[in-house]
Chains A and B, each alone.
Chain A
Amino acid sequence: MAHNSTLGELLRSQGVSRRAFLKFCTTTASVMALPATLVPVMADALEQVRRPSVIWLSFQECTGCTEALTRSHAPTLENLIFNFISLDYHHALQAASGRAAEAAREEAMRENAGKYLLLVDGSIPTVKAYSTIAGISNLDMLMDSAPNAAAIIAVGTCAAYGGLPMAAPNPTSAVSVSDLIKDKPIINIPGCPPIPLAMTGVLAHYLTLGTLPALDALGRPLAFYGDTIHDRCYRRPFYDRGLFAKTFDDEGARKGWCLYKLGCKGPVAYNACANVKWNQGVSFPIQSGHGCIGCCEPGFWDNGGIYESIARGQFGTGPQMGVAGMVGAGVGAGAALLARSKKERAAAAHRAAE
């Protein structure tokens, strides 16, 4: 890996024209919803930047986030890896394995101390034995790598909020990155998996501007997580008119009506699925006829059934209410009976007083 040349030098050496380069900057700026005036700034900055080292740590994950990343289309993953970043450690994509891979990681961390980007996917079991890499527990590896990182990007809901491993009963005592690291800037890019463009767009933003994009209260970049699915969903007019599919094959479903009653969590799910979509803008779950499961939200596995609408809460059951009613009845009747004997005593006192 040639760390010494700037990005501009590298691109030119690869035959990427100035025009193509500026086009890249424009595309990136528009994807990140940055103003057009920033494009020349980005271009200048990028010219000078040295390809940063990126270390990707995979903990308790399913590799879905990596799979999604390979489908990114602007910039493409290949583009990213070969032109913009130095991906120094990634289990699925690297050529090396075993001790060689770990050695590469340690060398990259040493050489780029304070400057490398740490990407994490998967949750971290606090019971260390549940997940180790080369004999090192995930917890220890994270705590080792974090102090010298410039920033941490938690990719996928597992890294960002704990995800599936943390769902009840959380057998591995899994936690998220931000549960463990408190003193580094962390960007969460949740989703199960996240939208590829969200990952690459954030990386591009960091690379070109050297700063983290604007984040919401849950640490998610506003450019991708600023609106709910509901607010961008093409089926919204049906929601507003009260036209809902009640089963997956009824008339409403066939006509593409709103899926709220079939458990769509769109109103409370912040992501870009409804406008950016998946597979290079082909479709997203709702368009395919299935409600959003809110996979970008913390604790979504435990928030009620996937096919239970938001309004159907998780608040207890009929039998409990029945018990409450009986308790109330008992206490009320008791109160009344006690009052009756009190009245009799009062009546006796009244008669005695006369």
Chain B
Amino acid sequence: MNLLEFARGPVIHWALIILVAGTIWRLLGVLILTRGADLSRPRDAFGNFKGYRTVFSRAWPSGEFTVATRYQTIMAYFFHFATLIVVIGITPHIEFITSLTGYSWPALPNAVGVAVGTIALVSLIALIGRRLSMPKIYCSNIGDYVTWVLVATPLITGLLAFAHLGARYETMLAIHILSVAALFVWFPFSKLMHSFWFIFSRAQSGLSYAHKGVRI
């Protein structure tokens, strides 16, 4: 079995299993905990309901924080959107998802995929640069750095494979798939779970503030 077969075979198989099992384990393990009870009367009858708004409004920093957080917010959005576009927009990825789910959609031209992937990588580098240069603000721990490496590696190896640069294609592809598997395995046990948590944590704060009549 060569490296590519190994990567596409048992490695990605088990990585997906760990990803699915671990994510649901962590989600339910937290969400099935008790709920706090705030017995005080809300400021107005719809107060609690309005709190869900925060899940969406928090997508952009508001009011007086716009300027201070602008650079990081923009870089982070570039990274997230560019990565998303690459993950669901280039032909090999769509083929992969089709084989898992049956759904398919038109793909981006390869050159666009490479361009967007480059944007993703550049913004990711910008973010780590900022993290490294401002340690007092970021309070980084080892998890932050491991996460960065495990996110950057699929991007870099994917770009190299997709653009047919670097090692031989089947080797580069195998390394790319192995790095994706590593990311999948790391995902449920790391801060990457914020991709789910943000909904709940924003909603929870939104509710508790809306209870008092404050929009956050």
Q: Is the CB of B24 within 8 A of A329?
A: yes
B174-196 vs A: 1/0 string, CB under 8 Å? 00010000000000000000000
Given A311-B91, A328-B25, verify A316-B108 contact (CB < 8 Å). Answer: no
Q: Is the CB of A324 within 8 A of B17?
A: yes
Interface size, B (range): 35 or more
Query: Which residue on A lies nearest to B21, using beta carbons?
Result: A328
Query: Which residue on A lies nearest to B109, using beta carbons?
Result: A242
Q: Is the CB of B25 within 8 A of A331?
A: yes
- What CA separation (Å) do A328 and B30 show in the bound complex? 13
In the complex, B137 has a CB within 8 A of chain A: no
The smallest beta-carbon distance between B90 and chain A, in angstroms, is 8
Q: Is the CB of B91 within 8 A of A261?
A: yes
Of B2, B91, B100, B170, the residue contacting A318 (CB under 8 A) is B100
The smallest beta-carbon distance between A296 and chain B, in angstroms, is 12
Q: What secondary structure prevails in chain B residues at the interface with A?
A: helix
Q: Is the CB of B23 within 8 A of A328?
A: yes
Q: Which residues of B contact A299 (CB under 8 A)?
A: 1-2, 5
Q: Is the CB of A311 within 8 A of B95?
A: yes
Q: Is the CB of B95 within 8 A of A312?
A: yes
The smallest beta-carbon distance between B139 and chain A, in angstroms, is 27
Q: Which residues of B contact A231 (CB under 8 A)?
A: 164
The smallest beta-carbon distance between B4 and chain A, in angstroms, is 7
Q: Is the CB of A339 within 8 A of B8?
A: no
Q: Is the CB of B169 within 8 A of A267?
A: yes
Of B16, B29, B30, B109, the residue contacting A315 (CB under 8 A) is B16
Q: Is the CB of B20 within 8 A of A268?
A: no
A181-194 vs B: 1/0 string, CB under 8 Å? 00000000000000
Q: What secondary structure prevails in chain A residues at the interface with B?
A: helix
The residues in A between 281 and 325 inclusive whose CB is less than 8 angstroms from any CB of B are: 298-299, 303-304, 308-316, 318, 320-321, 324-325
Query: Which residue on A lies nearest to B102, using beta carbons?
Result: A318
In the complex, B98 has a CB within 8 A of chain A: yes
Q: Is the CB of A335 within 8 A of B16?
A: no
In the complex, B61 has a CB within 8 A of chain A: no
Q: Is the CB of B29 within 8 A of A333?
A: yes
In the complex, A244 has a CB within 8 A of chain B: yes
In the complex, A228 has a CB within 8 A of chain B: yes
Q: Is the CB of B29 within 8 A of A336?
A: yes
- What CA separation (Å) do A313 and B93 show in the bound complex? 11
The residues in B between 128 and 150 inclusive whose CB is less than 8 angstroms from any CB of A are: none
In the complex, B22 has a CB within 8 A of chain A: yes
Given A228-B169, A315-B16, A340-B34, verify A335-B25 contact (CB < 8 Å). Answer: yes
Q: Is the CB of A313 within 8 A of B12?
A: yes
Q: Is the CB of B108 within 8 A of A242?
A: yes
Q: Which residues of B contact A240 (CB under 8 A)?
A: 109-111
Q: Is the CB of B29 within 8 A of A332?
A: yes
Q: Is the CB of B169 within 8 A of A230?
A: yes
Q: Is the CB of A268 within 8 A of B170?
A: yes
Of A312, A321, A327, the residue contacting B99 (CB under 8 A) is A312
Q: Supply 12 A–B pairs (Cβ within 8 Å), ascending by A.
A: A240-B110, A241-B110, A244-B91, A267-B170, A299-B2, A304-B8, A313-B12, A314-B8, A315-B10, A315-B16, A318-B101, A333-B32
Residues of A within 8 A of B (CB): 228, 230-231, 239-242, 244, 260-261, 267-268, 298-299, 303-304, 308-316, 318, 320-321, 324-325, 327-329, 331-333, 335-337, 339-340, 343
User: Which 7 A-B pairs have CB atoms at the shortest separation, nearest pair first?
Assistant: A332-B28, A336-B32, A328-B21, A311-B95, A328-B24, A332-B25, A312-B99
Residues of B within 8 A of A (CB): 1-2, 4-5, 8-10, 12-13, 16-18, 20-34, 91-93, 95-96, 98-101, 107-111, 164, 169-170, 173, 177
14 further A-B pairs in the complex, CB-CB below 8 A; given A267-B170, A313-B8: A240-B110, A242-B107, A242-B110, A267-B169, A310-B92, A316-B16, A318-B101, A328-B21, A331-B29, A333-B29, A335-B25, A335-B28, A339-B29, A343-B34
